Amino acid sequence: MQHKLLMVLGPTEIEKDILEEASKPQEYMRTEDYTQKWVRIFENLKYAFQTQNPVVVYATSGTGAMEAAVTNFLSSNDKVLYINGGSFGKRWGDICKKHNIVSIEIPVEFGKSPQVDIVKKYLEENSDVKALFATLNETSSGVLTDIKAIGEILKEYPDILFIVDCVSGLLADEFCQDEWGVDVAVSASQKAFALPPGLGFLSASKKAMEYAKKSNLRTFYFDIFDYVNNSQRGQTPFTPAVGLVNQLDKRLEKIRKEGLENFRVRYKNNTEILRDGLNKLGFNILAENPANCTTAVYTNEIDAYKIVQLMREKYSIEIAPSGGELKHKLFRVGNFGDIQIKDIKYFLKVLGSVLQEL
């Protein structure tokens, strides 16, 4: 199979040494060595989330971690608010509805940032909700949400859980779970972690753990108490995805060595080079306040889907189409993972040719 350069929003290009980690023989996980590995991983994940709370690892994709964030801490007939600025904000609502949670949408125009004043108004009018759901990087539009500012407002509502989807935002954009007052944060392996898909991460505050005691939706496989208790002895309740966990260990050690700030700045520089180039080709960035590594652009009179297809079929570069009515109008480019400046320059050159051809 010919390699296609992944400039989508996950999965990403994976660094060579991390890829090689996956080809090592499997290990048995109930050993002292493996426990040491988990202890290191749990510490490094806390660093990634900027939290003192436990972070647990599920063998699931991001949506599984999102569902765990709903079912562990809430109960049927609870009332919640969710910010909906695109597919992933909407997903919070869909998961809650599936579990018979009364879900009140805070609609946000596609491409615009959620306005803190509007969130505040919804909270004033619905102060009896159990949780507020938000998305750090709404990957469908590339909009960054001001989680810190929303966390500030929530200080006046100590009984409301703040639950944030950081699937595409964590590491790429600033996120300080404890300082910003986030109770539950979820992420996944295939975006800025730049690992294969298959691991979901969830971090829960003490307040969230109190809510979990009362939840009537807690499932067997995702039960947060089981994972937290096991993490305290450097283990997981069920068989972990051994190969992925080895890759996670190595990747986290590298990120920790580089430092979150340096990591973010490095990707920010690359993202700026990409956006400059897109602007020069005549594209405008959709997001009002764009997230790092996620760039959505409207294509005006050119068919966005044809661009995606030509890039894939003729030039072996994957960029992400949009769904539904935006299919022919908007495409998205990701520069998570092992995408270097030379790849971005190559991508821009190829995109220029594709525009000529169309």
Could you say whether residue 167 binds ligand PMP (CB under 6 A)? Answer: yes
Instruction: Categorise residue 319: left if φ over 0, alpha if ψ from -120 to 50, beta otherwise.
Output: beta
Are 178 and 172 within 8 A, CB to CB?
A: no
- Give the nearer residue to ligand PMP in terms of CB position, either 221 or 315: 221
Q: Which residue type occupies 146?
A: D
Residue choice 9, 83, 170, 244 for contact with ligand PMP (CB under 6 A) = 9
Kindly state the tokens that stand for 305.
Answer: 């889907």
State the nearest-atom distance from the C-beta of 60 to ligand PMP, in Å.
8
Are 291 and 143 within 8 A, CB to CB?
A: yes
State the nearest-atom distance from the C-beta of 14 to ligand PMP, in Å.
16
Could you say whether residue 334 binds ligand PMP (CB under 6 A)? Answer: no
Could you say whether residue 160 binds ligand PMP (CB under 6 A)? Answer: no
List binders of ligand PMP among 260-299 (CB under 6 A). Answer: none
State the nearest-atom distance from the C-beta of 65 to ligand PMP, in Å.
8
State the nearest-atom distance from the C-beta of 62 to ligand PMP, in Å.
3
Residue 12: which of 341, 293, 288 has the closest Cα? Answer: 293
State the nearest-atom distance from the C-beta of 356 to ligand PMP, in Å.
31
Give the β-pairing of 317-318 and 5-6.
parallel
Residue 151: which of 193, 183, 125, 127 has the closest Cα? Answer: 183
- Give the nearer residue to ligand PMP in terms of CB position, either 88 or 110: 88
Could you say whether residue 165 binds ligand PMP (CB under 6 A)? Answer: yes
Taking only Cα atoms into account, the Rg of the chain, rounded to an integer number of angstroms, comes to 20
- Give the nearer residue to ligand PMP in terms of CB position, either 119 or 185: 185
Residue choice 5, 8, 11, 62 for contact with ligand PMP (CB under 6 A) = 62
DSSP string across 195-247: S-S-EEEEEE-HHHHHHHHH-S---TTT-HHHHHHHHTTT--SS---HHHHHH
CA pair distance 248, 163, nearest whole angstrom: 24
Residue choice 39, 42, 46, 61 for contact with ligand PMP (CB under 6 A) = 61
Could you say whether residue 74 binds ligand PMP (CB under 6 A)? Answer: no
- Give the nearer residue to ligand PMP in terms of CB position, either 240 or 334: 334
State the nearest-atom distance from the C-beta of 133 to ligand PMP, in Å.
11
List binders of ligand PMP among 96-155 (CB under 6 A). Answer: 135, 137, 139
Could you say whether residue 168 binds ligand PMP (CB under 6 A)? Answer: yes
Are 52 and 178 within 8 A, CB to CB?
A: yes
Could you say whether residue 67 binds ligand PMP (CB under 6 A)? Answer: no
- Give the nearer residue to ligand PMP in terms of CB position, either 94 or 223: 94
- Give the nearer residue to ligand PMP in terms of CB position, either 83 or 209: 83
State the nearest-atom distance from the C-beta of 261 to ligand PMP, in Å.
22
3-state secondary structure of 5: strand
Sign of CA dihedral 119, 122, 127, 131: negative
Q: Which residues have CB under 8 Å from 181's CB, separation 6+?
A: 151, 152, 154, 155, 162
Residue 202: which of 242, 166, 148 has the closest Cα? Answer: 166
Are 339 and 12 within 8 A, CB to CB?
A: yes
State the nearest-atom distance from the C-beta of 135 to ligand PMP, in Å.
5
Residue choice 188, 194, 217, 248 for contact with ligand PMP (CB under 6 A) = 188
- Contact positions vs ligand PMP (CB under 6 A): 9-10, 61-63, 88, 135, 137, 139, 165, 167-168, 188, 197
